[in-house]
Amino acid sequence: MGAVPAFRFNGVRRTLLTAVVLFLLLFLVAPLVAVFSEALRKGLGAYFAAFTDPAALSAIKLTLLTTAVVIPLNLVFGVAAAWCIAKFRFPGKTLLISLIDLPFAISPVIAGLVFVLLFGRNGWLGAWLEAHDWHIIFAWPGIVLATTFVTLPFIARELIPYMQEQGRDEEEAARLMGANGWQILFRITLPRAKLALLYGIVLCNARAMGEFGAVSVVSGHVRGQTDTLPLHVEVLYNEYDFSAAFAVASLLTLLALVTLVIKTWLERRGVHATRSA
């Protein structure tokens, strides 16, 4: 009696495995292959030419600059939020945690829109900004703001559960031995949470460099000035310069693959992803 059901189960197993592998090949591997094959369609010369174009260089610079501002902002916020949430008890804590998650539930286009409403030409502060000749929308500061909005939760939500799990015994011991708050933070808490910190920074970095919807709303698409890398991909694509579009896209794809490798490595070292939309 045993042999027949076992054989049948193997059949089910094989079918399931094949279905899943085919589904993942179609939806996850095929896009990767498509990016690189389209990028290299016109040969290596055309591929590298896509990066030496001044507009591409300016997009790379803007993307790096934006990320270099956004990560420290959200890093300091993440550490502050994790410190009060993980080490203290206070009313409204659950609400605060869900508020930090809010940007995940908001469409990136809406994230860009809110800053246009505030700082755009017809926005609340539009006239005042114009009078002072300050540019936020269709300029670099708007891109930074929109990117900060969409990447706000990443570092905080990795640090909070990790620091909660670690408790506060070591911090209290250090306090009894005379350490001040900053010493405790920099010598005990942050070193202990360094893997979660790194995990959050890697995810924040990937999203900051790759953000498209929110940045698209506030950038104004001034070529060579307010185009980030993903926006540059869009511009090239809409100009039917497909091989250049995919060449620039391949750079972002490499970034995504490196992100996945670091993420997997950190997860094997015991950092757990916290999930939400």
Partner 1 sequence: MLPGFGLSLGYTLVYLSLVLFIPLSALAIKAMGGGWHTFATVLTSPRILASLRLTFGSAAIAALVNAVFGFLTAWVLVRYRFPGRRILDAIVDLPFALPTAVSGIALTAIFSPDGPLGRALAGIGWPVAYTPSGVTIAMVFIGLPFVVRTLQPAFEELASELSDAASSLGASPAQVMFKVVLPLTLPALITGFSLALARGIGEYGSIVFISGNLPFKTEITSLLIITKLEEFDYTGAAVIAVVMLTASFALLLAINLLQKRSLKWLARKQG
The interface with partner 1 within residues 224-253 (CB under 8 A) comprises 229-231, 233-234, 237, 245-246, 249, 252-253
Contact 88, 189 (CB under 8 A): no
User: Residue 221 Cβ, how far from partner 1 at the closest point, in Å?
Assistant: 11
List 7, 27, 131, 240, residue binding partner 1 (CB under 8 A): 27
From 126, 107, 110, 67, select the one nearest 217 (Cα to Cα): 110
Distances (CA, A) of 91 to 85, 95, 97, 99, 219: 11, 9, 12, 14, 39
Q: Which is nearer to partner 1, 57 or 99 (CB)?
A: 99
Q: Which is nearer to partner 1, 58 or 85 (CB)?
A: 85
Q: Is 127 in the site for partner 1 (CB under 8 A)?
A: no
User: Residue 44 Cβ, how far from partner 1 at the closest point, in Å?
Assistant: 19
Hey, is 139 helix, strand or coil? coil
List 57, 64, 110, 127, residue binding partner 1 (CB under 8 A): 110
Distances (CA, A) of 120 to 105, 114, 129, 205, 208: 24, 9, 9, 27, 22
User: Residue 85 Cβ, how far from partner 1 at the closest point, in Å?
Assistant: 8
From 56, 33, 22, select the one nearest 227 (Cα to Cα): 56
User: Residue 256 Cβ, how far from partner 1 at the closest point, in Å?
Assistant: 4
Contact 74, 148 (CB under 8 A): yes
User: Residue 12 Cβ, how far from partner 1 at the closest point, in Å?
Assistant: 5
Q: Is 180 in the site for partner 1 (CB under 8 A)?
A: yes
Q: Is 175 in the site for partner 1 (CB under 8 A)?
A: yes
Q: Is 222 in the site for partner 1 (CB under 8 A)?
A: no
Using the rule CB under 8 A, give the single segment among 49-57, 128-136, 190-198, 201-209 that binds partner 1. 201-209
Other C-beta atoms lying within 10 Å of the C-beta of residue 74: 24
Hey, is 51 helix, strand or coil? helix
Within 51-80, the residues that bind partner 1 by CB under 8 A are: 76-77, 79-80
List 57, 68, 99, 222, residue binding partner 1 (CB under 8 A): 99
Distances (CA, A) of 49 to 36, 53, 55, 243: 15, 6, 12, 10
Other C-beta atoms lying within 10 Å of the C-beta of residue 181: 12
Residue 119 parent element (H or E): helix 108-119
Convert residues 129-158 into a mask of x (bound to partner 1 by CB under 8 A) and - (unbound): ----------------x--xx--x------
In this structure, the chain runs to a length of: 277
List 3, 91, 95, 276, residue binding partner 1 (CB under 8 A): 276
